[in-house]
Amino acid sequence: MAHAPPPRDPDDPLAPARGLSLDGLLELLERLDGQAESAVAREALAGGVPAMVVVEELQREVERRLIRSHRFYDESEW
């Protein structure tokens, strides 16, 4: 029996990246001003790099960008 995923924490800056597929990560990365990095990931896939390796790298890059933008826009940290 499958359980429903837990509700997302509204204060979790990484929530948008959780559970995304390869395509979802690529799309989110592009929305986070990562068009060049997304293109590199697509080229890596086309060049034969295993999808799991690309997904792991994309996950790290998306999370890094989410954290960076969250810290920038969180005025309580200023």
Using one digit for the tens of pLDDT, what is the confidence trace for 21-36?
999 999 999 999 999 9
Question: Can you give the residue ranges of every domain in the chain?
Answer: 19-77
Quote the radius of gyration of the chain (alpha carbons, Å): 14
**Looking at residue 32, what is its pLDDT?**
92
**Looking at residue 4, what is its pLDDT?**
57
| Among 32, 9, 73, CA closest to 18 | 9
Q: Is residue 73 over pLDDT 80?
A: no
- At 32-68, the pLDDT tens digits run 999 999 999 999 999 999 999 999 999 999 999 998 8
Count of C-beta atoms within a 10 Å radius of residue 49: 13
Task: Supply the pTM of this predicted model.
Answer: 0.76
